[in-house]
């Protein structure tokens, strides 16, 4: 047993109470602790990635209780990749917050660490009930982060967000109850074994449970028809929080790959390919709805939120196909879209801060501070998000299109991806030209504008995320090599089951 595996959960779990109890009155110390924890998490995730590359899923049985009876953490290539992505995004978002956003409310850093703990736990856990518990941990922290800084509009969006997620959690519990009722286990590997030999009489309950789980994960992943909560939440959340939330939709995508791929995948008897008929149409509609929203948005934050919805559709299309090439393409695009969305949300925050009462509305206003630098950053992030060459969005879309070449619905998939890319390009071009291009001729000042806080630090944070995008593009070769091996591991269900149960 390798004790490194539990560190991504333990480290933030220890730092968070320390931030509340010991350094609550000292902003500088809190920032140092929080940033140090995030940087350490990147290192730990790197070590775990090295571990995951060597051989098949690694198991950490808590209290040394043998699975399926105890709680088990599972580290494979997919979870190691997600851990690294989370911690990298967290460093960027935290650095941005250190520029001044963390002082607008209390306990920002503690909540941030708890959120990281929840996300890391969801990526590592090997059983359904702990997945629920870690979902709750990350949600409770996100409620606090979402309303950080206050403001009546943001608070009301926060209430909406809490209500939607509470209903989602209730559905999760019902699904868990149904599945436990017919199988008598909640360990994912054990479930995969039991589901394969399920009697015909229990299939109805089991499949209802499986589809309810899909609905719960779809709420998290913001897929049509349960995407409506996302634009309000993400557009009104503080910028560094919105950037961190970019990983939360991916938690939903990860859970669909993990749970439905493992338990209801190939070889699951009558329940095999349970979600196949539902996921592809939902993903295509999500893609089109999201990118149409980009075109229709009246604020930059809203536009970015709809782009997040669209990119979730883009990820779920290859996940629905669930072939080797498709999975590899989905994961490549998943990493790319997380970094792009994170960078875009940070840039939106910087722009809104500089435009006084106009905030991020897409109306022409006077020139604002550092307009050129922000325009360059926005241009780069928008190019990535819309999937234009030379950045990784283009490569990701190529991989997805290639993986969808020989399937039955290829006409639909190609049409949806190409048309939605066009919508995204037009939308972002309109937004960028309104905010950065047209203002040059105007003379008057903003009302209510104040000197932007934080100096260069927020720009460094944006730079880190954009540099991550460039790295992901330059290193596309080694990355796809790693992702191909990840896809192979995901499709080899027996190896996962053997690793956990034996």
Partner 1 sequence: MEFLVASAVGLMTGAGVYLVLRARTFPVVLGLALITYAVNVFLFTMGRLAVNLPAVISDDAAGYADPLPQALVLTAIVISFGMTAVVVVMALRAYLEGDTDHVDLADPDSGDEGDRS
356 is a site residue for partner 1 (CB under 8 A): no
Instruction: Count the Cβ atoms, other than its own, within 10 Å of residue 440.
Output: 10
407 is a site residue for partner 1 (CB under 8 A): no
Q: Which is nearer to partner 1, 443 or 451 (CB)?
A: 451
Nearest distance from residue 421's CB to partner 1, in Å? 27
**Contact stretch for partner 1 (CB under 8 A) within 70-78, 253-261, 327-335, 349-357:** 349-357
Please give the C-alpha separations between residue 180 and each of 105, 260, 369, in angstroms, as whole numbers.
Answer: 42, 16, 58
181 is a site residue for partner 1 (CB under 8 A): yes
163 is a site residue for partner 1 (CB under 8 A): yes
* Buried/exposed 307-330: b ≥16 CB within 10 Å, e otherwise: bbbbbbbbbbbbbbbbeebbbbbb
* Binder of partner 1 out of 43, 167, 418, 475 (CB under 8 A): 167
CB proximity list for 72: less than 8 A, separation 6 or greater:
59, 60, 61, 62, 125, 126, 127, 187, 500
Q: Which is nearer to partner 1, 265 or 349 (CB)?
A: 349
Kindly write out the interface string for residues 291-310 of this chain, putting x where it contacts partner 1 by CB under 8 A and - elsewhere.
Answer: -------xx-xx--------
Please give the C-alpha separations between residue 492 and each of 33, 76, 255, 307, in angstroms, as whole numbers.
Answer: 40, 12, 17, 33
* Binder of partner 1 out of 2, 170, 410, 494 (CB under 8 A): 170
* Binder of partner 1 out of 129, 278, 412, 414 (CB under 8 A): 129
* Binder of partner 1 out of 12, 67, 68, 158 (CB under 8 A): 158
Give the three-state DSSP class for 299: strand
109 is a site residue for partner 1 (CB under 8 A): no
131 is a site residue for partner 1 (CB under 8 A): no
* Binder of partner 1 out of 27, 169, 369, 460 (CB under 8 A): 169
Beta-bridge partners for 361: 299
Q: Which helix (H) or strand (E) holds 339?
A: helix 324-354
Nearest distance from residue 162's CB to partner 1, in Å? 5
Q: Which is nearer to partner 1, 220 or 336 (CB)?
A: 220
484 is a site residue for partner 1 (CB under 8 A): no
**How many residues make contact with partner 1 (CB under 8 A)?**
48
Angle at 251 between CA 310 and CA 21, to 5 degrees: 125
Angle at 147 between CA 145 and CA 153, to 5 degrees: 150
* Binder of partner 1 out of 1, 50, 106, 153 (CB under 8 A): 153
Nearest residue to 119 via CA among 92, 88, 97, 148: 88
191 is a site residue for partner 1 (CB under 8 A): no
349 is a site residue for partner 1 (CB under 8 A): yes
* DSSP 8-state assignment for residue 100: T
Beta-bridge partners for 125: 73
DSSP assignment string, 104-130: SSSSHHHHHHHHHHHHHHHHHB-BHHH
* Binder of partner 1 out of 51, 61, 160, 375 (CB under 8 A): 160
**Contact stretch for partner 1 (CB under 8 A) within 133-141, 256-264, 283-291, 323-331:** 133-141
Residue 208 CA to residue 175 CA, distance in Å, equals: 8
Nearest distance from residue 352's CB to partner 1, in Å? 4
* DSSP 8-state assignment for residue 367: -
159 is a site residue for partner 1 (CB under 8 A): yes
149 is a site residue for partner 1 (CB under 8 A): yes
CB proximity list for 287: less than 8 A, separation 6 or greater:
310, 313, 314, 317, 416, 417, 420
210 is a site residue for partner 1 (CB under 8 A): no
Do 356 and 448 touch, CB atoms closer than 8 A?
yes
- CA quadruple 281, 284, 287, 289: dihedral positive or negative? negative
* Binder of partner 1 out of 40, 352, 460, 470 (CB under 8 A): 352
Q: Which is nearer to partner 1, 186 or 280 (CB)?
A: 186
Give the three-state DSSP class for 59: strand
Residues that bind partner 1 (CB under 8 A): 101, 104, 129, 133, 136, 140, 143, 147, 149-160, 162-163, 166-167, 169-170, 173-174, 176-178, 180-181, 232, 235-236, 238-239, 298-299, 301-302, 349, 352-353, 359-361
């Amino acid at each position: 047993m390798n004790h490194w595996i539990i560190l991504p959960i333990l480290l933030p779990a220890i730092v968070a109470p320390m931030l509340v109890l010991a350094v609550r009155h000292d902003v500088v110390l809190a920032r140092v602790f929080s940033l140090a924890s995030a940087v350490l998490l990147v290192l730990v995730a790197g070590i775990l990635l090295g571990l995951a590359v060597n051989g098949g899923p690694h198991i950490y049985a808590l209290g040394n209780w043998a699975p399926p009876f105890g709680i088990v953490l599972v580290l494979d290539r997919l979870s190691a990749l997600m851990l690294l992505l989370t911690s990298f995004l967290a460093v960027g978002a935290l650095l941005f917050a250190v520029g001044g956003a963390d002082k607008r409310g209390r306990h920002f850093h503690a909540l941030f660490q708890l959120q990281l703990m929840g996300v890391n736990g969801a990526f590592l856990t090997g059983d359904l009930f702990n997945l629920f518990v870690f979902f709750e941990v990350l949600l409770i922290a996100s409620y606090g982060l979402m309303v950080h800084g206050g403001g009546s509009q943001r608070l009301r969006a926060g209430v909406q967000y809490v209500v939607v997620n509470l209903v989602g959690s209730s559905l999760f519990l019902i699904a868990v109850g149904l599945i436990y009722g017919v199988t008598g286990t909640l360990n994912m590997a054990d479930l995969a074994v039991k589901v394969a030999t399920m009697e015909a009489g229990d299939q109805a309950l089991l499949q209802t449970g499986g589809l309810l789980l899909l609905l719960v994960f779809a709420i998290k992943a913001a897929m049509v028809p349960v995407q409506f909560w996302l634009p309000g939440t993400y557009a009104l959340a503080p910028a560094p929080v919105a950037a961190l939330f970019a990983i939360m939709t991916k938690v939903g995508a990860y859970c669909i790959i993990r749970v439905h791929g493992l338990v209801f995948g190939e070889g699951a008897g009558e329940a095999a390919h349970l979600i196949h008929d539902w996921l592809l149409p939902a993903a295509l509609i999500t893609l089109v709805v999201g990118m149409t929203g980009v075109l229709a948005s009246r604020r930059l934050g809203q536009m970015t939120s709809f782009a997040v919805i669209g990119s979730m559709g883009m990820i779920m299309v290859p996940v629905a196909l669930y072939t080797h090439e498709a999975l590899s393409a989905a994961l490549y695009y998943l990493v790319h879209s997380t970094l792009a969305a994170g960078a875009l949300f940070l840039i939106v925050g910087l722009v809104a801060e500089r435009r006084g009462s106009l905030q991020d509305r897409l109306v022409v206003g006077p020139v604002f501070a550092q307009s050129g630098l922000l325009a360059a950053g926005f241009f780069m992030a928008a190019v990535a998000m819309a999937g234009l060459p030379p950045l990784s969005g283009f490569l990701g879309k190529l991989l997805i299109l290639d993986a969808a070449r020989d399937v039955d619905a290829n006409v639909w998939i190609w049409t949806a991806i190409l048309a939605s890319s066009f919508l995204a390009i037009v939308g972002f071009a309109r937004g960028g030209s309104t905010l950065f291009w047209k203002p040059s001729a105007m003379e008057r000042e903003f009302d209510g504008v104040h000197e932007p806080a934080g100096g260069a630090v927020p720009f460094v944070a944006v730079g880190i995320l954009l540099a991550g995008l460039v790295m992901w593009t330059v290193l596309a070769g080694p990355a796809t090599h790693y992702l191909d091996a990840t896809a192979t591991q995901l499709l080899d269900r027996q190896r996962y089951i053997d690793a956990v149960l034996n």
